[in-house]
Structure 1
């Protein structure tokens, strides 16, 4: 019995050693061909919804977490002040058009007056030129000559006055080429008032989901004040942090398998969009514009982790994505390292890199 026990113990020990060696090879294969990480989360673009104009909220057309389409009405602001402003701007536009027509008539009248004054001045000069030679022969008196000279000066002064009146009318008209500045300014005021009125209806800029809704009718909002946010549902991503020892095998365009903790039996697909070019080193935290994933502290020197952005395929409505969800990411590197064939034949397909079936669950997915 002792010999049998010793032999059995030896066989068990040998089996454990062989199993350990096989397990190391299997782990080597899966990590080499299919880098994976549990340090990943689902994310999406977040669009802040803000008021373009100030006023009291008259209606809230959505509720928190509601899906919306681009162009859907979200919130209405009391439009009455902006309707009045639009009516006032339109009235001022009509008044400006009337004033412009009046100034155009004044310009026509001033032009005709200039022609008349020019004719009067020309006649006065000609009359003076006729009678001046007659003074030496005493056919006219000196007073008549002086009166003629005075008439010339008066006619020329009236001509200058008419020309100045024409310039004033043209300046008041404010015509620059084919554009009348008065009317252009009035039309711009109408457009601005119409835009402000349109802004009273806040509409969704994207297809997405309402989040953090805290607006109710009667609340006064200021221009530029953010009211709530929309999660853009058109594109979803996973940001996965891979060790720097692994990212050399992760390439843009590589196929990715994603497992979400919320749906443990359902795999998702995606594509690597790109790898981060920089992160903040753990020793320095002064570059706020760079991502700074926190390493797991240990007594050994730790490899830095770099965020990898993965574009997810459109989801099944039965399994919707949620921003912030915990994910496990497995990247198909399409690479193979030479190992003995007899060892590779003993490794299951899911370890060798064959895509997992939807009902198959990877090891560690229940963590």
Structure 2
């Protein structure tokens, strides 16, 4: 009798352990495959490509790579001697046409006053036309002077916003062309995360949903919320051939890969350049209870960290 009870107890324990293991495996599998998360996420920021609006030799470089600058700070300067002379020339032409215009105005006023008794109507009209022409020439010269002054001012290239200089590729003595990108500026207070979420996990994602962001290889997590998501992704079957007919791929793989949809996440706290734009992270989206900051080490946290490895 005692032996039978021991066998039954062993059977019950075995079945209990097997069921507990099965439930645990199922929960892990469900947590890992069905919850909205992705390890394909990138930190990003607003990046300004800075290029000069003038041509010339670089005479000074005022910053170094990866330096934090503020809006209006000079970055580098282009030789301004030619542009100074252009301003002088434009001012001289404007002064010349101003004098001509004043003379033509006096002449037109004098002939108009004399009227048709002393002068013909044709001579009066000619004087008025000359005055109007000189005014147009004066306006044109003033516009040229304004453009020359703009070019002179823009020989000093300044930071368009607060941020970090990166990929600085300008050196004193080099010649630089107008419009050629010479340096990039990563704007401060503009960092966000783009999470590429599989379409099979996209259901339920909506603006305002909280997200837990764990940078790759980091013990520290950031928190944010879904700001928006893309309204479309590329469709290769949407391409057309040379005659305009849809070029549909005839191959359909046995294993179909889910499309990834970009989801933009606004960070609750600005991390600065601690996580540079382009670095990777794992993102877990909240479906139920709110994400609690400073979570303790637990089995759930372990699984979230495990996601970094695929």
Indicate the TM-score class for this superposition, using the shorter chain for normalisation: 0.7 to 0.9
* 1:41 Cα offset (Å): 1.0
**Is 1:267–1:358's contact at 8 Å kept on the other side of the alignment?**
no
Question: Is 106-115 or 66-75 further displaced after alignment?
Answer: 106-115
The reply to whether residue 271 of structure 1 matches residue 225 of structure 2 is yes
Distance 2:296 2:76 in 1: 43
Deviations 1:174-202 (A, max 9, x none): 179xxx42332222112111111111111
**Is 1:235–1:311's contact at 8 Å kept on the other side of the alignment?**
no
Corresponding residue to 1:216 among 146, 171, 190 = 171
Distance 2:160 2:261 in 1: 32
Aligned CA distance change for structure 1 residues 193 and 303 (closer, same or farther; 3 Å): same
**Is 2:191–2:271's contact at 8 Å kept on the other side of the alignment?**
no
Deviations 1:271-321 (A, max 9, x none): 21112222224x64849xxxxxxxxx985333322111112233345x722
> Tell me, what secondary structure is at the counterpart of 2:257?
coil
* Unaligned stretches of 5+ residues in structure 2: 241-251
Deviations 1:2-29 (A, max 9, x none): x989986984674244123134235536
> Tell me, what secondary structure is at the counterpart of 1:277?
coil
**Is 1:30–1:353's contact at 8 Å kept on the other side of the alignment?**
no
Provide the residue aligned with 1:58 in structure 2. Answer: 59
Provide the residue aligned with 1:38 in structure 2. Answer: 39
Aligned CA distance change for structure 1 residues 277 and 5 (closer, same or farther; 3 Å): same
Provide the residue aligned with 2:257 in structure 1. Answer: 302
* 1:86 Cα offset (Å): 0.9
TM-score by length of 1: 0.70
**What are the residue-to-residue correspondences of 1:150-169 with 2, within 5 Å?**
159-160=119-120, 163-169=121-127
The reply to whether residue 258 of structure 1 matches residue 213 of structure 2 is yes
Distance 1:25 1:165 in 2: 100
Distance 1:72 1:362 in 2: 46
**Is 1:315–1:321's contact at 8 Å kept on the other side of the alignment?**
no
Distance 1:286 1:221 in 2: 39
The reply to whether residue 333 of structure 1 matches residue 270 of structure 2 is no
Bigger CA radius of gyration: 1
**Is 2:212–2:285's contact at 8 Å kept on the other side of the alignment?**
yes
Deviations 1:233-267 (A, max 9, x none): 231121112121221211111111111125x2211
- Deviation beyond 6 Å, 4+ runs, structure 1: 3-10
Alignment size in residue pairs: 290
Aligned CA distance change for structure 1 residues 354 and 26 (closer, same or farther; 3 Å): farther
Provide the residue aligned with 1:363 in structure 2. Answer: 303
Aligned CA distance change for structure 1 residues 358 and 169 (closer, same or farther; 3 Å): farther
**Is 1:65–1:210's contact at 8 Å kept on the other side of the alignment?**
yes
**Is 1:240–1:308's contact at 8 Å kept on the other side of the alignment?**
yes
Distance 2:68 2:296 in 1: 29
* Unaligned stretches of 5+ residues in structure 1: 118-158, 288-296, 335-351
**Is 1:66–1:210's contact at 8 Å kept on the other side of the alignment?**
yes
Provide the residue aligned with 2:27 in structure 1. Answer: 25
> Tell me, what secondary structure is at the counterpart of 2:182?
strand
TM-score by length of 2: 0.81
Aligned CA distance change for structure 1 residues 272 and 354 (closer, same or farther; 3 Å): closer
Distance 2:283 2:61 in 1: 39
Deviations 1:104-137 (A, max 9, x none): 22123323544552xxxxxxxxxxxxxxxxxxxx
**Is 2:229–2:264's contact at 8 Å kept on the other side of the alignment?**
yes
